[in-house]
Chains A and B, each alone.
Chain A
Amino acid sequence: MSASRGPGALFIFKKALISAVVALVLFSLMIGIRTEAGPTGQLIYWTRFSDLTLMVAAVFGGSIAVELLRQWWGPAGTVRLVPPGVQTALTLGRRAVAPLLLVFTFLVPVIFYDQRYILDLGILVLTYVMLGWGLNVVVGLAGLLDLGYAAFYAVGAYSYALLATNFGLSFLVCLPLAGMLASLWGVMLGFPVLRLRGDYLAIVTLAFGEIIRLVILNWQSLTGGPNGISGIPRPSLFGIPLTPGDDGLAAKLGIEFSATHRIVFLFYLILALALLTNWVTIRLRRLPIGRAWEALREDEVACRALGINTTTTKLTAFATGALFGGLAGAFFATRQGFISPESFTFQESALVLAIVVLGGMGSQLGVALAALTMIGGFELFRGLDQYRMLVFGLVMVFLMVWRPRGLVGHRAPTVFLQSNQAISSDLVREGHG
């Protein structure tokens, strides 16, 4: 039996043993010995061999499990026949995901009205959904790898904060201004990187992100440097503040004031902004500019041969992506009431990029699901304390192995004659032109 199904028990055992030895070497210092500075500064260390044993045993058992799973599953690329009934059910299920998710999102403040934690988490997830959708224009559609997206987030946030605190402009006035300023910076980034491709483009965008952060950090007189800007006005509903006073919304509506009103308002505000991003992106994809972005991702040389101005095409992609980043930044500033350069580090750019890549480049639903997985999942593992990052990283690795082209790994055509059929991700290029 074992001979016909692949390698035998001895092979599996050997492989597991090797994995266990590697794990032992790796974790002996990382987990086996714990060091800390004592009260007088001396080195204290103690051993945690039980944890180490557990870890090595887990690797040993896991290796056997993986190998058995692999044998049961058969060689890679095996074609599996799915009954037509199951297939149609799956397709229907896939189509229903987006509307169900949307309806659920609308109902979140109703269902979890008295759970502040869930509402805050929802706002956070939606902020990242919006950022992901914004970056998706640049990375997913136009295929330009941008590692400095947090720069536009920062420009939006600081634009809003400075305009609102210095000139007392209202949220609805500041929001488009912040978006436009971020967009302007998107174009400014676009110019120097027009001729760059792939890794070089990524490095310059990375540098751009750092430049913006460092300028904010050091321009004390304008941005307050590392102290940031505090006292940023909270958003109001068309000029009516959500405060407990007599002119507040609660008093005007004749209901009892509750701090949750503001959270719910913020939730629907970011939901509206995210949906606006989604709507605009979906529309743009079906317009010549959107098709030119995707064509640019597929083959830049062919684009030029067809008379497409690749310069303006790239710049509009950067500007559009930056616009949404800036709007999200303005929302972030008004929600927090306080911003500092610490919120706009490279880690932020990397997280948003990870959301886009995990979601499946170019897919709107994929990005939304990925933001939910990344941000929500990160919160889910909060109970695991120091192992949180480890488990989270493992989950990410498994997700990418399971779905190498992202959660939604196919491209939907923008126009069709007879039948709207998804395009396999194997054909779609990743760009980075």
Chain B
Amino acid sequence: MSGDCILTIDHLTMRFGGIVAVNDLSLDAGRRKITALIGPNGAGKTTVFNCITGFYKPSSGTMRLTHDSGTEIHLERLNDFRISKQAKVARTFQNVRLFPGMTVLENLLVAQHNALMLASGLTFLGLIGTPSWRAAEKRAIDHASLWLDRIGLLARADDAAGNLAYGDQRRLEIARAMCTEPALLCLDEPAAGLNARESAALSELLLSIRDEHGVSILLIEHDMSVVMEISDHVVVMDYGVKIAEGSPHEVRDDPKVIAAYLGADEEEAIAVMESGT
């Protein structure tokens, strides 16, 4: 993809012993665009995410993140928490990882940890309770309330996160990631387990995150209705390699993609397509 990219991955390879989970993958994620990463189960999509967000150290390859200011950051050189703190990459997880025993509001305050830590004078000013800290805390709560309002959970702010319905938990996880003020938001199957109405609401939320907050989104998703509706660019992976990319419509009609999803040979897939049309 040409043009302005927030994330450029070059020749990324990730090996686990003898298994090559991701093999020489190169992809670009456009600035203020939604890039979808799709592929059958076990294609290596989540491994790519784990490399980007620092949970794995890639075996080889580079991942270059360019902020709006022009600063370039090599993600493979940062480790775990610094990717969120310095590179401003936030993520959600395939199996939702909230803090179940904390309230919905507390979950969003934990996400603002680094900003609040500075405001509390590394705890010392906060311990005394200076006015500047109180003001910062109030701002953080207002910011969290704003996001709760956006995802329709304001009324449940004081409930335990573990008590929310599954769809609400997924939305809360996205809101929590957004509270870290990211430049790039990585979502691992945000529509998994959602019903049609919830998926539609999710699409709307993601589009507004892109358009109103100017955040770039990298998305792993199996729900094709969501992918087709909101993606600007789609990258298809199978067995750790990229097999196709392009606009949603280009990808949908690509015989290689259909073959990968059907688990069949390319020729067979073409035959199926031709007999169908």
Contact = CB atoms under 8 A, between A and B. Distances in A.
A427 B105 contact: no
Contacts of B162: 427
B257 interface: no
Of A283, A309, A423, A429, most B-chain CB atoms within 10 Å: A423
Given A292-B113, A413-B106, A299 B99 contact: yes
B127 A287 contact: yes
Interface residues on B, range: 35 or more
Contacts of B106: 291, 294, 413-415
A302 interface: yes
Interface of A: 280, 283-284, 287-289, 291-292, 294-295, 297-299, 301-310, 316, 411, 413-421, 423-424, 427-429
A285 B81 CA distance: 22
B6 to A, nearest CB: 18
Given A287-B127, A307-B85, A424 B160 contact: yes
Interface stretch (B15-23, B114-122, B205-213, B263-271): B114-122
A197 B110 CA distance: 22
Contacts of B127: 280, 283-284, 287
Contacts of A287: 120, 123, 126-127
29 contacts: A280-B127, A288-B113, A291-B110, A291-B113, A298-B98, A298-B102, A299-B98, A305-B177, A306-B110, A306-B180, A307-B84, A307-B85, A307-B114, A307-B180, A308-B110, A308-B114, A413-B158, A415-B103, A416-B103, A417-B141, A417-B154, A421-B158, A423-B101, A423-B160, A427-B100, A427-B160, A427-B163, A428-B101, A429-B101
B80 A304 contact: yes
Contacts of A427: 100-101, 160, 162-163
A429 B100 contact: yes
B92 to A, nearest CB: 8
Contacts of B103: 413, 415-416, 423
A239 to B, nearest CB: 28
Interface in B158-180: 158-160, 162-163, 176-177, 180
Contact of B81 (A298, A310, A316): A310
B216 interface: no
B269 to A, nearest CB: 37
A424 B160 CA distance: 8
Contacts of B231: none
A156 to B, nearest CB: 21
Interface string B195-220: 00000000000000000000000000
Contact of A420 (B91, B158, B160): B158
Contacts of A413: 102-103, 105-106, 158
A428 B154 CA distance: 22
B63 interface: no
Contacts of A428: 100-101
B227 to A, nearest CB: 23
A284 B101 CA distance: 18
A417 B117 contact: no
Given A413-B102, A427-B162, A307 B157 contact: no
A417 B156 CA distance: 9
Contact of A416 (B93, B123, B158): B158
A298 B113 contact: no
A46 B172 CA distance: 70
B35 to A, nearest CB: 19
A417 B84 contact: no
A353 B163 CA distance: 29
Interface in B32-53: 53
Contacts of B117: 288-289
Contacts of B90: 305-306
Nearest to A425: B101
Contacts of A429: 100-101
A125 B116 CA distance: 37
B145 interface: yes
A397 to B, nearest CB: 26
B84 A306 contact: yes
B237 interface: no
A416 B144 CA distance: 11
Contacts of B99: 294-295, 298-299, 302
Nearest to B118: A288
Contacts of B53: 305
Interface string B75-100: 00000111111000011010001111
A411 B158 contact: no
Nearest to A298: B99
B111 interface: yes
Contacts of A423: 101-103, 160
B113 A417 contact: no
A307 B177 CA distance: 10
B109 interface: yes
B105 A417 contact: yes
B46 to A, nearest CB: 13
